[in-house]
Amino acid sequence: MSLKLFNTLSGKPESFKPLDDKTVRIYSCGPTVYDAPHIGNFRAFLFFDLVKRYLRFLGYEVNHVMNITDIDDKIIARCGEEGKTLSELTNEYRAAFEKDAVSLRIDLPDTMPAATDHIDDMIDLIKQLIDKDYAYLTDDGSVFFKIGSFPNYGRLSNIDTSQLSSTERVTDDEYGKENPQDFSLWKAWKEEDGEVEWESPWGRGRPGWHIECSAMSMKYLGEEFDIHCGGVDLIFPHHENEIAQSVCATDKLFVNFWLHCEHLLVNGAKMSKSLQNYYTITDLINRGYTASAIRYLLTASHYRHKVDLTEEHLLAASQAVNRFQDFRRRLEKLATSSSGHEADLPVLDEFRKAMNNDLNIAEAMGKVFDWIREVNRKIDSNDLTTEEAGRFIEVLDKIDSVIAVVSDDKPEITDEEATMIDEREKARQEKNWSRADEIRDYFRSRGFELEDTPDGTILKLSKEGSDKL
RNA sequence: GGCGACGUACCCAAGCGGUCUAAGGGAGCGGUCUGCAAAACCGCGAUUCAUCGGUUCGAAUCCGAUCGUCGCCUCCA
């Protein structure tokens, strides 16, 4: 059975095949770097990462491009507030984004082009659209895309443009539009823009939001590529507009598969700053949740369903991840060396079968947990050979190449604390239980758990976050 | 108003016409193991899938209606 992915364009699952048969070309909409990215943004970035990792699991090469939006209204406003230049601000938040992405084990895209480095490409694209009469210039020097010139406009979002409300507000910088629904390709300079400006054939100004993705995706991936993904909120208008611009400019397909992931909720509500339920990765890690638990929660639910970030769900995710990590630790104890041959077990086929069905990760995880129980049973009854243990580690790691939650979140302790663990071992041998428990309680208060096994004591991170959400 | 999604045990969740008296994870309870704990394993836990009708030999799965939750309709991952 081959991979099926739900294509927003058709509204149903379709068999996936790369356009060139071996390398999958993916473009995903990246962060707007005007503030620290929040956990909701990361649900999308983790989704892109999952898609990419799974395609590699299937044996495809992947070429992934993700833009960095470093020019837009919010960024300009923020520069004013913080008294920073555009590049100071955007470099700072781009770095923050990359740091959090790495901490969540997101495999960074092959190319992360910044919009401001591609103004010329955007201008070229806009020129083509004007030449072909898909776009027009207004008196103030702005350029708009004429949606009426593109018959397929609305197909992705399933919106009938004639049904769109005609009482659209027209903002200050958008007067002169022939149709209220036309969107801007180039925005003429305004006083609020300050020093943020570029020269263009239409005078100084800056690009509209949507054009960067068309220009950069086609520049790095070609005029036709395999997958374009983003959050559901981007379907309209962002991706609809991207299609209009790109298809009209090239008369090509542009994108074969459009994939969109659902939003993350916090305690059942949409995230917003006014509700103070606006978390960053650093917030959650500082509260004692591990990167693996966060990753599991955001990734192990189906991407087209909403996920609710709550204390209870984080705890459940954390336990699920512990189960994987403890399992690997048990295998490590038994395995002498890796078997060296290609790992293959029925569980991998079951995992693949589930994931092939539009990334049905819940079912896939169910199969993996079934397998883990079966192997644990074998370990308990001393039936597992060292050779098998080595092979099972390979299988687990193969699964982890997709889910990326099994490798340990290593607890960090001081030298004195390391000595305390030795001291506790001695106390236990002397049956000084009160001292042994005292030391364990100390570690608990620090967010660690000491687990005694026949082969010695293991230090783990506690499952619970230290601060409530 | 237009378009769309969803409603399965205490929580999350799979299920795409028969193998469903419904996977898996978390929480809970009982047990084995253990100095104690933890981990692991064993056992318990929905005769039922929002409600009501219909199609069918057969439905959680298809159709219709009703109730409820939510998203999008140019800030947004």
Q: For the segment A54-80, what is each residue's pLDDT rounded down to a tens digit?
A: 999 999 999 999 999 999 999 999 999
Q: Could you tell me the distance in Å between the CA of residue A266 and the C1' of nucleotide B11?
A: 15
Closest-lying nucleotide for A183 based on CA to C1':
B74
The predicted-structure confidence for A371-407, as pLDDT tens digits, reads as follows: 999 999 999 999 999 999 999 999 999 999 999 999 8
Which chain B positions come under 7 Å from a protein C-beta?
1-4, 11-16, 23-27, 34-42, 70-77
Closest-lying nucleotide for A428 based on CA to C1':
B35
Domain boundary among the residues A213, A246, A261 is at: A261
The predicted-structure confidence for A187-211, as pLDDT tens digits, reads as follows: 999 998 999 999 999 999 999 999 9
Q: Could you tell me the distance in Å between the CA of residue A131 and the C1' of nucleotide B30?
A: 78
Query: How far apart are alpha carbons A449 and A451 in whole angstroms?
Result: 6
Long-range contacts, A417-426 (Cβ 8 Å, 24+): A417/A443, A417/A446, A421/A450, A421/A457, A421/A459, A424/A450, A424/A457, A425/A456, A425/A457
CB-CB contact of A19 with A256 (8 Å): yes
Q: Are residues A433 and A396 in the same domain?
A: no
pLDDT of residue A264 exceeding 50 = yes
Q: Could you tell me the distance in Å between the CA of residue A380 and the C1' of nucleotide B41?
A: 7
Residue nearest to nucleotide B42 (CA to C1'): A377
Q: Are residues A293 and A206 in the same domain?
A: no
Q: Are residues A257 and A278 in the same domain?
A: no
Closest-lying nucleotide for A179 based on CA to C1':
B74
CB-CB contact of A178 with A144 (8 Å): yes
Q: Could you tell me the distance in Å between the CA of residue A99 and the C1' of nucleotide B15?
A: 39
Q: Does residue A290 lie within any of the structural domains?
A: yes
- Residue A168's pLDDT band (cuts 50, 70, 90): very low
The predicted-structure confidence for A74-108, as pLDDT tens digits, reads as follows: 999 999 999 999 999 999 999 999 999 999 999 99
Closest-lying nucleotide for A38 based on CA to C1':
B77
Q: Output the pLDDT for position A167.
A: 42
Q: Could you tell me the distance in Å between the CA of residue A233 and the C1' of nucleotide B70?
A: 14
SS3 A98: helix
Q: Output the pLDDT for position A68.
A: 97
Q: Output the pLDDT for position A412.
A: 84
* Amino acid making up residue A28: S
CB-CB contact of A261 with A43 (8 Å): yes
Q: Does residue A236 lie within any of the structural domains?
A: yes
- Residue A342's pLDDT band (cuts 50, 70, 90): low
The CB density around residue A411, as the number of other CB atoms within 10 Å, is 17
Q: Are residues A153 and A183 in the same domain?
A: yes
The predicted-structure confidence for A319-335, as pLDDT tens digits, reads as follows: 999 999 999 999 998 98
Q: Does residue A396 lie within any of the structural domains?
A: yes
Residue nearest to nucleotide B4 (CA to C1'): A158
Q: Does residue A304 lie within any of the structural domains?
A: yes
Residue, of A198 and A411, whose pLDDT is higher: A198
Q: Does residue A189 lie within any of the structural domains?
A: yes
Closest-lying nucleotide for A365 based on CA to C1':
B24
Strands A264-266 and A307-309, bridge-based pairing: parallel
Q: Could you tell me the distance in Å between the CA of residue A55 and the C1' of nucleotide B21?
A: 39
Domain boundary among the residues A403, A424, A443 is at: A403
Closest-lying nucleotide for A74 based on CA to C1':
B75
Closest-lying nucleotide for A377 based on CA to C1':
B41
Q: Does residue A106 lie within any of the structural domains?
A: yes
pLDDT of residue A271 exceeding 90 = no
pLDDT of residue A141 exceeding 80 = yes
Q: Are residues A381 and A423 in the same domain?
A: no
Q: Does residue A468 lie within any of the structural domains?
A: no
Classify residue A148 by its DSSP letter: G
> Which residues is A5 bridged to in the sheet?
A14
What's the structural domain count of chain A?
A: 3
Q: Are residues A257 and A295 in the same domain?
A: no
Domain boundary among the residues A219, A245, A261 is at: A261
Asked if the ipTM is above 0.85, the reply is yes
Strands A225-231 and A255-261, bridge-based pairing: parallel
Query: How far apart are alpha carbons A291 and A363 in whole angstroms?
Result: 23
Q: Are residues A257 and A332 in the same domain?
A: no
Q: Could you tell me the distance in Å between the CA of residue A453 and the C1' of nucleotide B77?
A: 43
Q: Does residue A399 lie within any of the structural domains?
A: yes
Closest-lying nucleotide for A230 based on CA to C1':
B77
Q: Are residues A289 and A255 in the same domain?
A: no
Residue nearest to nucleotide B13 (CA to C1'): A362
Q: Are residues A272 and A392 in the same domain?
A: yes
Q: Are residues A152 and A40 in the same domain?
A: yes
Q: Are residues A75 and A199 in the same domain?
A: yes
Range with lowest mean pLDDT among A59-68, A135-144, A185-194, A274-283: A274-283
The CB density around residue A2, as the number of other CB atoms within 10 Å, is 8
Q: Which domain CATH number covers A182?
A: 3.40.50.620
Q: Could you tell me the distance in Å between the CA of residue A381 and the C1' of nucleotide B32?
A: 13
Q: Are residues A390 and A295 in the same domain?
A: yes
- Give me the domain span that covers residue A422: 415-461
Q: Could you tell me the distance in Å between the CA of residue A393 and the C1' of nucleotide B9?
A: 34
Q: Could you tell me the distance in Å between the CA of residue A364 and the C1' of nucleotide B55?
A: 33
Q: Output the pLDDT for position A51.
A: 97
